[in-house]
A and B are shown apart, each in its own frame.
Chain A
Amino acid sequence: RKEVEQDPGPFNVPEGATVAFNCTYSNSASQSFFWYRQDCRKEPKLLMSVYSSGNEDGRFTAQLNRASQYISLLIRDSKLSDSATYLCVVTPGGGSSNTGKLIFGQGTTLQVKP
């Protein structure tokens, strides 16, 4: 089983739609959680951190459910510029050797169409 699993998509949605991405992680000791965005042939860029209390940044809302080991990202009012791959990222627990290590999911591809 992969440490971080995502539905690869692609998700094809019209402009203005609301779309939700889900992610599960296998290590219950995981410490930190993020969503990164990666455009085609570019580097990943941090979109937002994810907290148990949930957090919102404009049109983007992220949620963490530690009991279910589940992370979500909601994008409201999708724009053409939101088209990208969204990577779910986790930092594992379990000792100093893992400190700072990022475990990436495969990514979910979003295509927003006019």
Chain B
Amino acid sequence: DAMVIQNPRYQVTQFGKPVTLSCSQTLNHNVMYWYQQKSSQAPKLLFHYYDKDFNNEADTPDNFQSRRPNTSFCFLDIRSPGLGDAAMYLCATSMRRQETQYFGPGTRLLVL
């Protein structure tokens, strides 16, 4: 059974049109992470939640926001997608910060 679920798997949006990516988990983990991975590059952490505590990476653009309404769900909002935001967005969870992270299958975003 899938433990970290991301929807949709593929998302096409228009330049400047807000888009929301979804992540849910059945592991009851405290920590949820969002990574961006561009083609042939390493995944890069955007931000993470430890429970309700939001931790933004210093170099994450303001265009990227996140919400975690409850333990199971976490959303990535891109307010005004640019062509450079086309990437795979990976959600991961862990019980505590230093423990193994489990990744979802990712959402591949295309910006037209």
Residues of A at under 8 Å CB distance from B?
4, 8, 31-32, 41-46, 87, 91, 97, 99-102, 104-107
Contact = CB atoms under 8 A, between A and B. Distances in A.
B90 A43 contact: yes
Interface of B: 31, 33, 40-45, 48, 50, 55, 88, 90, 94, 96-101, 103-106, 108
A43 B105 CA distance: 5
A91 B31 CA distance: 15
Contacts of B48: 100-101
B42 A100 contact: no
Contact of B103 (A31, A45, A99): A45
A46 B42 contact: no
B83 to A, nearest CB: 20
Given A32-B98, A44-B90, A105 B105 contact: no
Contacts of A41: 88, 108
A43 B97 contact: no
8 contacts: A31-B98, A32-B98, A43-B90, A43-B104, A44-B90, A46-B100, A100-B96, A100-B101
